Structure 1
Amino acid sequence: METMKSIEKILKKKGVESLEAMELNESYTIQSQGYHELTIEKVGSDRLSVAHYYTQRGDLMRDPEIVFRIEENDSWTAVEYQQDDCGIYQHDKSGLDLSEFIKQWDENLGNQGFVGVVQ
């Protein structure tokens, strides 16, 4: 049961208090100088995608993307992980064990200024 505090902070700055408050396919893209864009998108009634995207030879690449199932008690469970440049794709509807990666990525997002640039 992971959580990404930096993503929660970004959404709150955008006026989003919960996943239910977002429309399906509603997304926010944040640019922090020197890093790939960060996109947060509601991709299902209880699913939130968090991804860094870049373009390679005209194709949109994920580096990485994690899709979380967010439950009523605000617990986040990673159910899908994709990193195109490494050829990695994992999916498990009961949850993936990515807690160390998520913890580090969340910390990096804060350190890289993604939360601070949101108005």
Structure 2
Amino acid sequence: MDTVLRILHAAGGWHHGLHLRIESPPYMALVIEATDESGPCGLPALSVCHYGEQNGDAMRDPEMCFELGFAGGAHLNPFYWRNDYVGVEQWSRFLREDNYCVHTQLHAEHERFARLWDNNLRQQGFAEAFERQRSQHA
């Protein structure tokens, strides 16, 4: 998720209370926010989401949660995927009774999806849209 890392870096990095809403028409807004809870390895966690609307309700399309790691350079490691339109919620890495658990096949699918989504976000100009929004509010 190099595009999200680029945006995060430009925003001053991860911090409690981080909330970014990036508009890049005609695409759905992208929301990047720090979560209140750490990820399954105890690292800072980040939610990345496109929100749509159905019958007045906010719908995640999709949402992914990542842990922000720094070993070997800044990187995002997925552990959660959700899409409200299809009614699917998946945890590929989690804690159960204080034990770290990984669904390796599902985690690999989350990693593949994150690479595809990152490519789409880059092509859709979200990093540049964030820079424009930031310069307009400066």
Note whether the superposition's TM-score is higher than 0.5.
yes
Q: Aligned pair 1:5/2:2, yes or no?
A: yes
Q: Aligned pair 1:62/2:60, yes or no?
A: yes
Distance in 1 between residues matched to 2:76 and 2:127, nearest whole Å: 19
Instruction: Please state how far the C-alpha of 1:42 moved relative to its aligned partner.
Output: 0.4
Instruction: Please state how far the C-alpha of 1:76 moved relative to its aligned partner.
Output: 2.2
Instruction: Please state how far the C-alpha of 1:15 moved relative to its aligned partner.
Output: 2.4
Name the counterpart of 2:116.
104
% identical aligned pairs: 32
Shift >4 Å, 4+ stretches: none
Deviations 1:15-68 (A, max 9, x none): 22xx3xx12x32101010101110000003411000001111111100000001
TM-score (norm 1): 0.84
The structure-2 alpha-carbon separation of the partners of 1:12 and 1:70, relative to structure 1 and needing over 3 Å to count, comes to closer
**Counterpart AA for 1:70:** L
Distance in 2 between residues matched to 1:61 and 1:39, nearest whole Å: 12
Task: Please provide the CA RMSD for this pair.
Answer: 1.5
> Whose relative contact order is higher, 1 or 2, with alpha carbons under 8 Å and at least 6 apart?
1
TM-score (norm 2): 0.74
Distance in 2 between residues matched to 1:15 and 1:47, nearest whole Å: 16
Correspondent of 2:47 among 46, 49, 54: 49
Distance in 2 between residues matched to 1:57 and 1:104, nearest whole Å: 29
Distance in 1 between residues matched to 2:115 and 2:69, nearest whole Å: 19
Q: Which runs of 5+ in 1 are unaligned?
A: none
Matched positions, count: 111
Distance in 1 between residues matched to 2:29 and 2:118, nearest whole Å: 15
Instruction: Please state how far the C-alpha of 1:72 moved relative to its aligned partner.
Output: 3.9
